[in-house]
Structure 1
Amino acid sequence: DTAAKVPTCQVGERIVKAGEYFSPSAEPWKDCWCGPGYR
């Protein structure tokens, strides 16, 4: 299954796929990118 191989980032209670942009709920003014080394 290729979906299982896609890297993800845990953002609060959400799962974001690698390469996607998101705004953290605690800091909605920020635009973040899910990529290697995200914490």
Structure 2
Amino acid sequence: MYVNDWTLDFGERGREAVRVLLARGHEAGVIPERIEPEFIDG
């Protein structure tokens, strides 16, 4: 995997981007069920 600052810790902005991506995938019919991701800080 390519590692940069975003892959190490993408913060709240990155988490929101993942939520939007998943929601848009669901709305487009690519993801059959709505997904609410869980994030683990570490």
Question: By the TM > 0.5 criterion, same fold?
Answer: no
Structure having the larger proportion of residues in strand: 1
Question: Which structure has more RCO (C-alpha within 8 Å, separation ≥ 6)?
Answer: 1
Higher Cα Rg, which structure: 2
Please report the TM-score for the alignment, with normalisation by the length of structure 1.
Answer: 0.26
Please report the TM-score for the alignment, with normalisation by the length of structure 2.
Answer: 0.25
Structure having the larger proportion of residues in helix: 2
